[in-house]
C-alpha cells in the first residue's frame, strides 16, 4: 500500500449497541441520540432504548436468574474476577472513554479505571463470604436449631449514577450480581459509552447472558416501565434525581419492590457491604432437636 493511500484511510467509527440477553441488539425503535464529551464535541451515537427494550431486558434477566443464583458463590467470584482481568487488558481504551465522558485528564481517568478494576476484585472476594457475615445460627429458647441464610432478591433494575459514569456504574452493578441477582442497568444518560463498552467486557468474561443487561437512552423513559414492571423485584435509584426518584418509588409500590433510595456516595472510597445486603432476603429455617420416645434418637 502506498504512503498516499495510507494517509487517505478513514477511521472506523464504533457502533454502540445495547446489551440484552448476552447479545448486542440495536434499539427496537431504531432510534439513537448524540453523545458529546464534556466540551460538547460529538463522540458517538448511542442507542435510544424504548419501553420494549426494557421489557426484553427484564425477560432476559429473569431467564438468567435461576442459573446465576444457583451457581456456587465461589464460581460467581471467579466470574467477577475474570471481569477485572478483561478490564485490565482493555485499560487504555477505558481510560480514553472515561476521560472523554467525564471531562477528566488522562491521569485522573486512569485512576478511575484502576479503581473500577479493583472494585470488581473486591466484590469477587466477597461472593463466598457474605453468607457468613449476614447469616448463621440464631440463639433460641427451645429445642430447636434456628439457621438464617441470605438469598438473592431476584431481578434488580439499576439507575446508574449520572456523573460517575464508570466507577459509579461498577460500584452499583458488581454488588448486585455478586450476591446472585440479575440486573437491568439504565446507563448514564449523559455519558453512556463506558457502560456500553463495559457490556463488551462482560460478554467476554464468562458472565452468562442475561445476568447483566445494559440499556442507554432517556433515563426517565426507560426507568419508569422498569419501576412498574411486575417481574422486577427491586430497584436501585442511585442515578435518579429527587423528582424522578419519587415517581419511581411510587411506581415500584405496585408489587412491593425493594427500593434503594439515592444517597450521597463517594464512589472513590472502599465500599462496605450495604449494597450487597440491600438486595438479599433472609431465609430462616427452624429444625427441632432432642430425643424422641424411648429410643432416644435425635433429629
- The reply to whether 209 falls in a domain is yes
Q: List the beta bridge partners of residue 182.
A: 155
- The reply to whether 1 falls in a domain is no
CATH number, domain containing residue 200: 3.40.605.10
Report the half-sphere exposure of 249 (CA within 13 A, side-chain side).
13
Q: How confident is the model at residue 238 (pLDDT cuts 50, 70, 90)?
A: very high
Q: Which domain holds residue 53?
A: 18-288
- The reply to whether 204 falls in a domain is yes
Q: Is 169 helix (H, G, I), strand (E, B) or coil?
A: helix
Rounded to whole angstroms, the Cα distance separating 225 from 266 reads 29
- The reply to whether 12 falls in a domain is no
Q: Is 165 helix (H, G, I), strand (E, B) or coil?
A: coil
Q: Is 34 exposed, middle or buried (0-12, 13-18, 19+ CB in 10 A)?
A: exposed
Say what the pLDDT of residue 132 is.
Answer: 84
What distance, in Å, lies between the first and last C-alpha atoms of the chain? 81
- The phi and psi torsions of 268 (rounded to 5 degrees) equal -75, -20
> b vs e for 160-193, b when ≥16 Cβ sit within 10 Å of the residue's Cβ?
bbbebbbbbbbbbbbbbbbbbbbbbbbbbbebbb
- The reply to whether 284 falls in a domain is yes
Supply the angle between the helices 91-102 and 106-126 in degrees, to the nearest 10.
120
How many domains is the chain partitioned into structurally? 1
Tens-place pLDDT, residues 162-200 = 988 899 999 999 999 999 999 999 999 999 999 999 999
- The reply to whether 299 falls in a domain is no
pTM for this entry? 0.89
- The reply to whether 297 falls in a domain is no
- The reply to whether 102 falls in a domain is yes
Q: How confident is the model at residue 109 (pLDDT cuts 50, 70, 90)?
A: very high
Amino acid at each position: 500500500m502506498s504512503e498516499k493511500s495510507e494517509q487517505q484511510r478513514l477511521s472506523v467509527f464504533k457502533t454502540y449497541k445495547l446489551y440484552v440477553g448476552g447479545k448486542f441488539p440495536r434499539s427496537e425503535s431504531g432510534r439513537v441520540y448524540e453523545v458529546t464529551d464534556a466540551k460538547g464535541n460529538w463522540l458517538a451515537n448511542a442507542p435510544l432504548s424504548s419501553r420494549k427494550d426494557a421489557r426484553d431486558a427484564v425477560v432476559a434477566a429473569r431467564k438468567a436468574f435461576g442459573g446465576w443464583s444457583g451457581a456456587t458463590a465461589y464460581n460467581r467470584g471467579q466470574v467477577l474476577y475474570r471481569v477485572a482481568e478483561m478490564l485490565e487488558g482493555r485499560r487504555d481504551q477505558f481510560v480514553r472513554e472515561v476521560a472523554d465522558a467525564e471531562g477528566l485528564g488522562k491521569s485522573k481517568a486512569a485512576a478511575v479505571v484502576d479503581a473500577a478494576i479493583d472494585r470488581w476484585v473486591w466484590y469477587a472476594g466477597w461472593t463466598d463470604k457474605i453468607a457468613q457475615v449476614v447469616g448463621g445460627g440464631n440463639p433460641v429458647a427451645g429445642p430447636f436449631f434456628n439457621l438464617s441464610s441470605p438469598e438473592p432478591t431476584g431481578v434488580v433494575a439499576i439507575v446508574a449514577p449520572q456523573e460517575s459514569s464508570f466507577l459509579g456504574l461498577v460500584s452499583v452493578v458488581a454488588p448486585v450480581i455478586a450476591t446472585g441477582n440479575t440486573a437491568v442497568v439504565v446507563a448514564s444518560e449523559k455519558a453512556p459509552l463506558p457502560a456500553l463498552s463495559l457490556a463488551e467486557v462482560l460478554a467476554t468474561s464468562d458472565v452468562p447472558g442475561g445476568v447483566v443487561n445494559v440499556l442507554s437512552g432517556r433515563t426517565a423513559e426507560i426507568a419508569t416501565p422498569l419501576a412498574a414492571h411486575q417481574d422486577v423485584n427491586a430497584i436501585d435509584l442511585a442515578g435518579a434525581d429527587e423528582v424522578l426518584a419519587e415517581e419511581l418509588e411510587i411506581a415500584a409500590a405496585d408489587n412491593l419492590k425493594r427500593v434503594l433510595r439515592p444517597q450521597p456516595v463517594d464512589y472513590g472510597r472502599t465500599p462496605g457491604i450495604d449494597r450487597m445486603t440491600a438486595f438479599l432476603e433472609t431465609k430462616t429455617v427452624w429444625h427441632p432437636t432432642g430425643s424422641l420416645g424411648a429410643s432416644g434418637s435425635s433429629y
